Structure formats: C-alpha cells, structure tokens
A and B are shown apart, each in its own frame.
Chain A
Amino acid sequence: MSQHLTPPIRRALLLTSLPVYILLYAPLALIAVFSFAPAPGGTAAGLHWYDALLHAPNVLAALRRSLTLALGSSILGTVLGTLMGFGLSRFRSRARSGFAAALPSLIIYTPIIMPSLVFGISELIFFNLMHNATGLFAAGLLTMGIAHVTFQAPYVALVVFARMAGLDPNLFEASHDLYANGRQSFLHLTVPVIRPAIIGGFLLAFTLSIDDFTISYFTAGPGSTTLPIYIYSAVARKGISPDINALATLMIATVIGIGLLQYGFTRQKDRLAVPRTGD
C-alpha cells in the first residue's frame, strides 16, 4: 500500500505519526530515566531507588498481594474464559443467522466495553448486598479476586473464541468420525489446538489484573492494598517520588516481557494453522 503513496504524502504521514509515537513512548522513557535518579544528597545516578523499594515493607506487601491476586484470578479467569469461548463458538456454529448468531459476540464484548468505573461500582454494590445478606463477601482480596475473574474471563473468551472461529469446523466432526467421544475430542483435539490461545489469554488476564486500578479500588477492603492502589495513594499523599518511578519502570518491564511472551504464542498459533484446501 505504501508504495502507491507519493513522497510528499509519505513525508506528511511521517510527520504526523512521529508526535503520536513520541506521546506514546516518551512518558514511559521519562519515568525510566527518572527512576535512576541519584539518592537524596547524592549526585551519582544509579539503582538507589530500586534498592529503596526492596527495603520498603509496604511496597513488598503490596507487590505480593498483587501477584497473588493476579495469579489466582488469572488461573480461574482462564479456565472460565476458555470454557466460555469454547461454548460460545459451539453455539455460534449452530445458530444460523440474525440475533442468535450475534449473541455470543454480544455476550463477550459487553463486559469488555463496559467502563471499568461502572463495572467497579456495580461490583461494590453487589458485594455489599451479598455481605449484608450472607455475612460472606467482606471486601478484601477475595472480592477483588472475584471482580478480577469477572472482567478477565471475557478477554480470555475473546481470544479463545477467535481461535475457534479460525479453525476448520470439520476438525471437530473429523474427531468424532474417528471414534472420539465428546470428552476425548475436547482433550485430544480442542485443548491442544486452542492451547496457544489459552496461554495467550492467561498472560493477557495476568497483565490486566496486575495493572487494574479502578475495579480493584472499588472492591478492595482493609489490608488488601495492591500495587496500583499503593502507587495511587502514595502519589496522592506525597506527590511523585523517585521510588514510584522505579516501581513504575519495573511494571513497564514486566508488562513488556509478558507482551513479548504472548506474541511468541500467537506466532505459534500461525504455525499451527493449516490452509483449508489446495496447495
């Protein structure tokens, strides 16, 4: 496509896209640079603020909570999301047209496009009601976990659903034709062929959880401060300090790392794709 563009247009596009990239990545780079700021009174740039993080019990506790929450909710969210994506793709292949055919996408996308503010408030109200009624569901890591699973599952479902939609529907018939019952077909065909999507979905769920502030904030209770909540309150209290920069830089590095992993799995998905017919 780009080869059809005349040089002036190409230059214009470059000039307009450059600021976009700068706006996207410069703040991130800035935080990373500031995180290496010298210690108070010192002059040498270095890992001082990273070292300070390691000796801040509040930060470490928040990190531990964030990781526990992310891991636990991602596992559950991935299991539920996978089943959801699989089930909805089956439903879609049966529905022929109209509303029924659009329903699975609707079910998946509605929670995804829901503003997290609305999502968080509704979860808060729901947990309050449940707590008053049953005495369970006290605000804390558990309610946060449930809330995280609820918003992670549709994302995982979306990834799995997309993978299923890209598969030859005859594959499943072929497995039954070759004597696999429902359980065997799921274990020996479905799970292996959607495995890249499941892993990709898990990593996505993990990043979403680690990074979530809004929904976590509404569903958190005493003693369930996660990293994003800690950062928010620290910034609110004393403004941006270099240790927050260090923390943010670590989070950026983690997310980029997970992103690369996910990319690797998506590429594996391409290798698995078999052209349907012909040479």
Chain B
Amino acid sequence: MTEATLPIRNTQGPDGAAPRGAIRLEGISRVFGGGIVAVDQIDLDIRAGEFFTLLGPSGCGKTTLLRMIAGFETPDTGRILISGREMQNVPPHKRAVNTVFQSYALFPHLSVAENIGFGLRMRGVAKAERLARTEQIMALLQIDAFARRNPAQLSGGQRQRVALARALVNEPEVVLLDEPLSALDAKLRAELQVELMRMQKRLGMTFIFVTHDQHEALVMSDRIAVMERGRMLQVGPVLDVYEQPRSVFVAEFLGLSNIWKFTPRPGNVAETALGALAINTRIDTQRTAMIRPEKIWLYPEADAPRDRPNTFPGVVREAIYMGASTQYNVELPGGAIVLALDTNNQAAERSWGPGERVVLELKPGNIMLIDG
C-alpha cells in the first residue's frame, strides 16, 4: 500500500527532480499583528520519507511553520515547495498534506469510520474503494473494533489513533503532526511514539512532527531542527545535535548539560569556574565549555585515578534516583555544582548519598566547546 497513489495526485514536481514528499522552505517569514515575528527567514530542506522534528519551546514558531506548510497560514516572505511544487496560491484542500491536530479535531457528528473516510469522500473516491481503504488503515492501527463509535465514546489514545488514521488513509505526501501526543499519559505516549515511528517507516511518508518535548524528539526523529524565537538554531541528525550542540540554548534544551564560561589559557586549557580544564579540540573563538552529565566519570575517593587530567574531588549534595540511573549534583571545593549521571548497573559499591565524597573525571574528549 506504500506504492498506491491516487490518480488525482500530483506525484512529481514540475521538473521531475524533487521526489514526492520532499519539502523546501526558502526564506520563510511570518509576522503577526503587533510586529511579533513568529517565523524569521527560515531556509530548510526536508527529505522525502524523513521523520523530521521541529523542536522548541512554546512560542518559538514551530506550529506557525507547520501551519504554513499545511496552508492555514500564508508566509509574508519566501516560498514553500512540496514535492517540488510551489505552494504560493494553493489552498489547504488542494495540498497533498494531512495534519494530525493537537486537539485531534475529530468530527463529532461522524463515526470513527466516517471520520477516517472523510478525506477520501471529499475527493470523490468511489465508495467501495473508500470503505476498503478505511478498513485497511483501521486494521493497521488496530482501531477496527471502534469503527461505528462516536469520537466522544473513545479514550484519548483511541482518538489519537483515529486522528492518525484519518490522515494516513489519504496517503499524503507529507503528514504534519502538531504535538499529537501531548494530551496522553506517559506510558501511552511511549507506546504511540514507537508506533508512529513504525508507521512512518512502513508507509514511507514524510512526517513533520512538532513538539516541545526533547525526549520525544530524541526517540522518534531522523533529523531535528531546534527552534527559538522564529529561527532555526541547529538542524541535523538527532545524534549530531545532541552530541555537538552549536549553542548554549540547544545544549540546554536538548538533554541535561553542564555549561561553563571559560578563559583560554596556553596549551589548550580552559580556565573555568571548576578550575583549569584540559581540552582536546583547539580553542578558537569559543568561550563556553559543555559536558553532558552521563559523560562524567564518578569514582569513590579511594580509587580515584591519579595523574589523569580533569579530575576533581567533590561532595554529593543531592542524589536523584531515577530508576535506571541516578543523577548526582556534586559540589566542588570552589562552590561550583556539577551534574553527573551514573547508570545503576553496579548497585551498592558505586552509589553515593548526600554528603559523601567522590571524585569526578571530565575526560578531555567529552568536553565540547560552544561559541559564545
């Protein structure tokens, strides 16, 4: 069913070069009344068949960007190309794009099956094909048991699946998802995250996912774009953005981090609030050092490594037990607090309580330098 396309669907861009489902944004801006710049000069290429996430705090412009791709908002400058086709004067109902809304927006007067078949019906797909495709997608998402129910009779998770089915059944080139999991409880959210990924890989459609939840972004995406105040701070594969954040904002928004300003000293040494840190990379114009808590080694005071750089004694202030791991907030003699994360795989002999003394090792290779 991945290959099936409808005859009325434009499957190729005018030049035949842009693949079905690829999106290009060129210099997109949107300014709301009162001069609020929601989206500021964004250029972005989203590949066909990619799970792409727009991540950022509320008000960063991610939803506005999504709404412009759907056609609900018109950019003030720039252009949007979907599968190589310019979308300037194409209204939402003529775009091969379907949206899963945060509120699900299921039609209250229609049954589950009728909700799912709505898009096909509006495009004049024959009834027999409509029913067949509706049943197929309901089976795929395991909602066939509720086909005749009203949306009001469904649980949050079931509604979410119906909203997804209602988009997927149309086999759009692009599926837009606006925080679709934010109303669900944690366990259900985790289940649906995996299911969304699986569905996207299976159907091969481009998914653009909007979220403010960094964990969700890490779990599901092929690539993410971190947004702040209408701009894209960093775009790249999840691993790259997490491991090599290019700004303090990205480092802090995605995962936990220890961040210190520093003064460069000769011999690749950074003078920070902790003291002198040996750095592996060449210090250029960067003035901020960052290390992820899980990349800090913790030792009991007795078997701390001697003669290795960047080892610091400290006292555990808080030990936050999180099941699989424990977060230690360690205070160094100078008063600086360092976050260190330790997996709980060695239990008793390597866990510490508040007030206990430990030694931290910040391996030079794990310290990232950030501009600014």
- Partner pick for B106 among A177, A180, A274, CB 8 A cutoff: A274
Given A178-B170, A272-B152, A279-B156: A193 touches B107 (CB 8 Å cut-off) = yes
Instruction: Please determine whether B156 and A178 come into contact, CB atoms closer than 8 angstroms.
Output: no
A175 within 8 A of B: yes
Taking CB atoms, residues of chain B closer than 8 Å to A267 are none
Q: Return chain A residues, CB-CB under 8 Å to B152.
A: 271-275
**How long is the Cα–Cα vector from A9 to B166 in the complex, in angstroms?**
55
Let me know if A179 and B108 touch, CB within 8 A: no
User: Which residue on chain B has the smallest CB distance to residue A191?
Assistant: B109
**B72: nearest residue on chain A (CB-CB)?**
A173
When distances are taken between beta carbons in the complex, the residues of chain A under 8 Å from B182 are 277
Asked if B105 is at the interface of the complex by the 8 Å CB criterion, the answer is yes
The residues in A between 199 and 252 inclusive whose CB is less than 8 angstroms from any CB of B are none
In the assembled complex, the CB of B291 is this many whole angstroms from the nearest CB of chain A, namely 38
Q: How far is the CA of A177 from the CA of B33 in the complex (A)?
A: 25
Report whether B108 and A174 are in contact in the complex, using a CB–CB cutoff of 8 Å.
no
The answer to whether B93 and A276 touch across the interface, beta carbons within 8 angstroms, is no
Contact B103 A276 (CB under 8 A): yes
- A11 at interface by CB-CB < 8 Å: no
B150 contact set on A, CB distance < 8 A: 271
Given contacts A170-B105, A176-B91, contact A274 B151 (CB under 8 A): yes
Judge whether A180 and B93 touch: CB under 8 Å.
Answer: yes
CB distance from A8 to the nearest CB of B (A): 43
Known: A173-B92, A176-B92. A189 touches B107 (CB 8 A): yes
- What number of A residues sit within 8 Å (CB to CB) of B? 28
Query: Which A residues are CB-close (under 8 A) to B122?
Result: 175, 178-180, 184, 188
Query: Contact between A174 and B93 (Cβ–Cβ < 8 Å)?
Result: no
Bound-state Cα–Cα, A170 to B104, Å: 8
Query: Does the CB pair B109–A192 fall under 8 Å?
Result: yes
B109 touching A272, Cβ below 8 Å: yes
A178 touching B119, Cβ below 8 Å:
yes
* Cβ B101 vs Cβ A174 within 8 A: yes
A195 CA to B108 CA in the complex, in Å? 12
Taking a contact as CB atoms under 8 Å apart, the answer to whether B123 and A173 are in contact is no
**A207 → chain B closest CB, angstroms:** 26
B99 at the interface (CB under 8 A from A): yes
Give B113-131 interface residues, CB cut-off 8 Å to A. Answer: 118-119, 121-123
Q: When chains A and B are docked, how far (Å) is the Cα of A279 from the Cα of B154?
A: 8
Instruction: For the complex, give the distance between the alpha carbons of A276 and B108 in Å.
Output: 11
Q: Is the CB of A170 within 8 A of B103?
A: yes
- List the B side residues contacting A279 at CB < 8 Å: 155-156, 185
Please give me the residue from chain A that is nearest to B101 by CB atom. Answer: A170
A245 to B235, CA, bound (A): 81
Q: Evaluate contact between A277 and B103: CB separation under 8 angstroms.
A: yes
For residue B183, CB closer than 8 A to chain A, the reply is yes
Q: Does A51 contact B (CB under 8 A)?
A: no
**Cross-chain contact B105 with A173 (CB below 8 angstroms):** yes
Return the chain A residue nearest B185 by Cβ. Answer: A279
Per the 8 Å Cβ criterion, residues 45-99 of B in contact with A are: 70-72, 91-94, 97-99
Q: Which residues of A contact B121 (CB under 8 A)?
A: 188
Residues 153-193 of chain A, each 1 if its beta carbon lies under 8 Å from chain B, else 0: 00000000000000010110111111111001000110011
Q: Does chain B have a CB within 8 A of A278?
A: yes
B102 at the interface (CB under 8 A from A): yes
Q: Are A193 and B108 in contact (CB under 8 A)?
A: yes
Q: What are the residues of chain A within 8 A of B151 when measuring CB–CB? A: 274
Residues of B within 8 A of A177 (CB): 70, 72, 92-93, 97-99
Interface residues in chain B, defined as those with a beta carbon under 8 Å from any beta carbon in chain A: 33, 70-72, 91-94, 97-99, 101-109, 118-119, 121-123, 150-152, 155-156, 166, 170, 182-185
12 residue pairs from A and B, CB less than 8 Å apart:
A96-B33, A170-B102, A173-B101, A174-B101, A174-B105, A176-B92, A176-B93, A178-B166, A178-B170, A179-B94, A179-B119, A274-B108
Closest CB pairs A-B (n = 5): A277-B183, A178-B119, A170-B105, A174-B105, A179-B122
